[in-house]
Structure 1
Amino acid sequence: MAVLVTGANGFIAKYIVHDLLNEGYDVIGVVRSQAKADSLAKQFGGNPHLAVEVVHDIAVLGAFDSVFHKHGKNIDIVLHCASPLPSEGDDYEKTHMIPAVNGTIGILEAVKKYAAQTVKHVVITSSVVAVMDPAKRTDSTWILDEKNWCPLRKEDINGDFHVAYMVSKTYAERAAWEFLKNNRGEVKFELTTLLPTYVFGPQLFEEDALGSLNYSNGQVQALICSSPGEELKPDMNAHFVDVRDVAKAHLLAFQKEEAAGKRLILTSCRYTSQDVVNILNEKFPQLKGKISEGPNPGKYDASSVVGEHHKAEEVLGIKYAGLEKSIYDTAAQVLKVELRL
């Protein structure tokens, strides 16, 4: 059984590739350049069960055709992880909307064209932002629910890259479900979308922890680099999930029949930036007195201790790592590569 993984050199996707190979699957990884392809193949030790293909621009409709023309009849599962992350810029249509939506439609069209009867399941990495309503962010009674959809539209972006990201993920996921609805008679695959919250955890390969980290782990990195007495920046009160659990969920999503046709939020619990600096100061003596302690040193936010249970735990049978383990493993790796241990 061959599994296609797009964005295979990404933070989450490398763990997915690792888990797939460990479970005996053949993997076809898709990346954006030959340099990334060479690097990925090298990191996985030239594993003969990993083939890496290059798709330079997923925003171009038809971009995946060459991959499916070559491998289509051997691909049973598609894990579509490639999508732009939140970033500042001048043209959010170009940097967020088009790659997210066209990348999703493009890979589904390629399945329809070359592997309509052979691909059994497609799993798409969406985001929790696709269920969120910013207007209700301060409403303590509002909880994450897979039944909800983010109400924001392109017209709401107005130069805000966070809004651009939310809209792009929402539009892309909606496009996937609409595609399946419109093509149900022509394709065989089931669809599952996974909606992770902020994703913490160490990089699969230590060398990837050098320099700036991914968007979520950048929060931890920023707090490690804070100074005594500073305000907490970023000052977060949100949900998190460990990268290793997100990767595991991608495999379970196509392995378990119950996941077919579902949107599944992936989250362990709430956390605050105060919780993160508490862990950093408690677990890493070399940081004590050198980084911010926050406004309430040692006091954990009660909301971060109480987990919210979502469908993924029941459907996938997943047991999430806690905040302390995830932050500790992330920070320990950062400190090691920065020679601060």
Structure 2
Amino acid sequence: MSTTVFISGATGYIAQHTIKQFLDHGYSVIGSVRSHAKGEKLLKSFDNSRLSYVVVADIQQEGAFDQALKDHPEITGFLHTASPFHFSTDDPEKDLLIPAVKGTTNVLRAIADHGANIKKVLVTSSYAAMMTFGDEMNPSYVRDELSWNDLKWDDAKQNAIAGYVGSKAFAEKAAWEFLEMEKPGFQLATLNPAYVFGPQLFDEEVKGTLNTSAEMINQILKLTSADVVPKESGAFLDVRDVAKAHRVAFEKDEANQHRLLLQNGRFTSHVIRDIIAKRFPQLEGRLPQGAAESLAKILSRYCKLDDSKTRKVLDFDYFTLEQSIYDTVKQIAVANNW
């Protein structure tokens, strides 16, 4: 019999790629979805007998995961990927902060109470939990796996961006505090990806508006030559590498009790624009103008990133930014019959 893992938020961008990673390596996967309709669509998309689903309509509800774990004692690993990631809210506390923290604590409480056979838990956190805004543009600062953002709860309530950044830190801290206080019988690791690029797992998931990270690429494709490229920037990793990192971290004891910083360098929207122009010359005439500054000059203003501990644990090569952007745009181009 194959090892069974549970993946919350199974219809998500990262989650679907992660499900594929585990199925491809012989695991059985039980995913949580918000409705039977979403679950049936997931099963049809994967068409794999080792995938099943349970409905968890609201991860904020106390005991949300209890029944699923009672019904499936065969589960030995739990990957909690379900957490809100969007900036379209006027109430960050209600829509971002509370769901992220309650969802995480509900998962861990359910595992402690009803998941006796679960030995490894992964929580999908974010680079946002490590990022302090004031240090991001400080080239003498070094951010690593031990870094935390310094947002207070009241500050995180002020707007959607602060709410998201705060939600990731508060939820992750809740997980580590649970481990320290409860001393459950499972090992914990958190994965902290930066912006996640790369194709959707299924072509039919390509819609007019994509998930928050991938939409950064899509929005450049929606611009015209008369538009201005947004001044967005950050660190990135391809979604396929994020998914592989989840599997490798699950399999390796070296990941236990660690935070894993997932990134493969920085980008700017202008860099994305230039990659698109290079790899899709047929789009050159409709894209905005490129950047006046070199990437090296732009990046010299940012803090340094030290993910050496993470790379030692994971020990595999990542997709380059160019390949990630190319694969993303190629899929969008096919979907739109360019």
The TM-score normalised by the length of structure 1 is 0.94
Q: Which runs of 5+ in 1 are unaligned?
A: none
Q: 1:210 maps to what in 2?
A: 207
Distance 1:138 1:307 in 2: 12
SS at match of 1:288: helix
Q: Does 1:192 align with 2:192?
A: no
Q: 2:61 maps to what in 1?
A: 60
1:266-299 per-residue CA deviation (whole Å, 9 max, x = no partner) reads 00111111211111111112211111122339x5
- Contact 2:156/2:165, CA 8 A, preserved across alignment: no
Distance 1:22 1:189 in 2: 25
> Cα distance, 1:302 vs. partner?
5.6
Distance 1:156 1:10 in 2: 28
Q: Does 1:253 align with 2:254?
A: no
Distance 1:181 1:49 in 2: 34
Q: Does 1:284 align with 2:286?
A: no
SS at match of 1:289: helix
Q: 1:16 maps to what in 2?
A: 18
> Cα distance, 1:90 vs. partner?
2.5
SS at match of 2:283: coil
Distance 2:6 2:138 in 1: 40
- Contact 1:281/1:293, CA 8 A, preserved across alignment: no
SS at match of 1:175: helix
Please identify, of 318-327 and 155-164, the stretch whose mean Cα deviation from structure 2 is larger: 155-164
Distance 1:171 1:180 in 2: 14
**What letter corresponds to residue 318 of structure 1 in structure 2?**
F
- Contact 1:230/1:294, CA 8 A, preserved across alignment: no
> Cα distance, 1:309 vs. partner?
4.2
User: 1:1-341, aligned counterparts within 5 Å?
Assistant: 1-45=3-47, 47-71=48-72, 73-116=73-116, 118-184=117-183, 187-233=184-230, 235-296=231-292, 299-301=294-296, 309-340=307-338
Provide closer, same or farther for how the CA distance between residues 308 and 271 of structure 1 changes in structure 2, counting only shifts above 3 A.
farther
SS at match of 2:5: strand
Distance 1:209 1:307 in 2: 32
Q: Which runs of 5+ in 2 are unaligned?
A: none
Please identify, of 85-94 and 5-14, the stretch whose mean Cα deviation from structure 2 is larger: 85-94
- Contact 1:268/1:308, CA 8 A, preserved across alignment: no
SS at match of 1:287: helix
- Contact 1:239/1:267, CA 8 A, preserved across alignment: yes
Provide closer, same or farther for how the CA distance between residues 158 and 22 of structure 1 changes in structure 2, counting only shifts above 3 A.
closer
> Cα distance, 1:308 vs. partner?
5.4
Distance 1:105 1:129 in 2: 19
Distance 2:228 2:157 in 1: 28
Equivalent residue pairs, number: 333
> Cα distance, 1:303 vs. partner?
6.3
Provide closer, same or farther for how the CA distance between residues 264 and 303 of structure 1 changes in structure 2, counting only shifts above 3 A.
farther
- Contact 1:58/1:102, CA 8 A, preserved across alignment: yes
1:152-174 per-residue CA deviation (whole Å, 9 max, x = no partner) reads 01210353101000111101000
- Contact 1:274/1:301, CA 8 A, preserved across alignment: no
Provide closer, same or farther for how the CA distance between residues 68 and 128 of structure 1 changes in structure 2, counting only shifts above 3 A.
same
Between the two proteins, what is the percent identity of the paired residues?
A: 39
**What letter corresponds to residue 106 of structure 1 in structure 2?**
N
Provide closer, same or farther for how the CA distance between residues 107 and 205 of structure 1 changes in structure 2, counting only shifts above 3 A.
same
Provide closer, same or farther for how the CA distance between residues 243 and 38 of structure 1 changes in structure 2, counting only shifts above 3 A.
same
Please identify, of 4-13 and 145-154, the stretch whose mean Cα deviation from structure 2 is larger: 145-154
> Cα distance, 1:151 vs. partner?
0.7
Distance 1:121 1:127 in 2: 19
- Contact 2:255/2:313, CA 8 A, preserved across alignment: yes
- Contact 2:144/2:307, CA 8 A, preserved across alignment: no
Distance 2:308 2:161 in 1: 24
Could you say what the CA RMSD is over the residues aligned between the two structures, in angstroms? Answer: 1.7
- Contact 1:200/1:241, CA 8 A, preserved across alignment: yes
SS at match of 2:285: coil
SS at match of 1:199: strand
- Contact 1:4/1:77, CA 8 A, preserved across alignment: yes
> Cα distance, 1:230 vs. partner?
2.2
SS at match of 2:71: helix
Distance 1:62 1:10 in 2: 22
